[in-house]
Amino acid sequence: MKNLLTIAGSDSSGGAGIQADLKTFAAHGTFGMSVITAITAQNTCGVTHVQDITPDIISAQIAAVFDDIRVDAVKIGMVSRPESIKAIAEGLKKYAPKIIVLDPVMISKSGFALLQPEACKTLINELLPLATLVTPNLPEAEAITGMKVTSKEEMEKVAEQIIKLGAKAVLVKGGHLNDSADDYLYDGKQGVWITGTRIDSKNTHGTGCTLSSSLAANLAKGRSLLEAVKESKKYVTLAIENGIELGSGCGPTHHFVELYRKAGIKE
């Protein structure tokens, strides 16, 4: 069994962050571990408070896992402060995991800032060069590069710029486009468009976390970059199609829909 580590924030409602990552790892038949970077108070309607975990505790969590357990892949999610980012980068440089998927979480679905403005530059300088794959949506790609992205042509250009910043590969997610939901995968040599289907559902809480965790799991299991992206998009699409009606806002995706069906569990 492959061992996966998520480095991210905790979502008290269970739909995103650490909770979504661990559910996704389990759904892929891998063992999930966690380094918590922040505690958020949130539900399906939005985020109300954030308490950052101190850098020394982040470092201690990383050391506790790597000193004892083989880590086959790492997924990085919410990291809000420069000090936290530096602690993570130092730990990953020391232990050098082969696969690192970076989801540059910046703003919650409800508009709450999850990455402090001064931390964006630190993320670019410290974490992007370590990433096997980085998975920005269009607003995140704009924040990283300073380039406006409103079309497929601009998605290709911003992907090239992100590779120049040090990432080995980038998946620019096109969900914010008006005319499609296609994603663009670029590894510095070849670019591939992956067709997406826009699903009419409000229950999409944690979609980005789920996709990046699925990518980490599929890469750890030996799939090629393109295969991993296709498999992960398929997994997330099914999870969104079967999103859970929970709370009064945006409900979560269904991480275990296939397992529930096989087990005969009625949804």
Q: What is the DSSP string of 159-215?
A: HHHHHHTT-S-EEEB-TT-SS---EEEE-SS-EEEE-------S--BTHHHHHHHHH
Tens digits of residue pLDDT in 29-52: 999 999 999 999 999 998 999 999
For residue 257, the cross-strand partners are: none
Annotated catalytic residue, options 24, 30, 145, 204 = 204
State how far the Cα of 244 lies from the Cα of 13, in Å rounded to an integer. 12
- Active site includes 206? yes
- Give the per-residue pLDDT at 173: 94
Neighbours of 123 (CB within 10 A): 25
Domain boundaries, the chain: 3-263
pTM to 2 decimal places: 0.95
Tens digits of residue pLDDT in 208-251: 999 999 999 999 999 999 999 999 999 999 999 999 999 999 99
- Give the per-residue pLDDT at 52: 95
Residue 168 contacts residue 133 (beta carbons within 8 Å): yes
State how far the Cα of 137 lies from the Cα of 106, in Å rounded to an integer. 10
Annotated catalytic residue, options 206, 243, 250, 251 = 206
- Active site includes 204? yes
- Active site includes 15? no
Annotated catalytic residue, options 44, 75, 174, 209 = 209
- Give the per-residue pLDDT at 111: 61
Quick one: how far is CA 131 from the chain centroid? 12
Q: What would the two tokens of residue 85 be? A: 């980012």
Tens digits of residue pLDDT in 111-136: 666 777 778 899 999 999 999 999 99
Q: Which CATH number does the domain 3-263 belong to among 3.40.50.300, 3.40.1190.20, 3.90.740.10, 3.10.20.30?
A: 3.40.1190.20
- Give the per-residue pLDDT at 137: 93
Q: How many CA atoms are closer than 13 Å to the CA of 152, on its beta-carbon side?
A: 12
- Give the per-residue pLDDT at 177: 77
Task: List the alpha helices (DSSP H) in the chain.
Answer: 17-27, 55-66, 82-95, 119-126, 138-145, 152-164, 207-220, 225-241, 257-263
Length of the chain: 267
Closest-CA residue to 17 (of 75, 73, 99) = 75
What is the mean pLDDT of the segment spanning 196-214? Answer: 90
Higher pLDDT pick, 107 / 265:
265
Closest-CA residue to 29 (of 222, 242, 177) = 222
- Active site includes 207? yes
Annotated catalytic residue, options 2, 75, 86, 173 = 173
Q: What would the two tokens of residue 217 be? A: 């799991």
- Give the per-residue pLDDT at 217: 98
What is the mean pLDDT of the segment spanning 92-115? Answer: 84
Backbone CA torsion sign across 104, 185, 243, 260: negative
- Give the per-residue pLDDT at 105: 83
Residue 170 contacts residue 186 (beta carbons within 8 Å): yes
- Active site includes 264? no
Tens digits of residue pLDDT in 140-195: 999 899 999 988 999 999 999 999 999 999 999 987 676 677 999 999 999 999 98
Annotated catalytic residue, options 207, 243, 251, 253 = 207
Residue 97 contacts residue 29 (beta carbons within 8 Å): no
Confidence of residue 264 (pLDDT cuts 50, 70, 90): confident
State how far the Cα of 237 lies from the Cα of 168, in Å rounded to an integer. 25
Annotated catalytic residue, options 208, 210, 243, 253 = 208
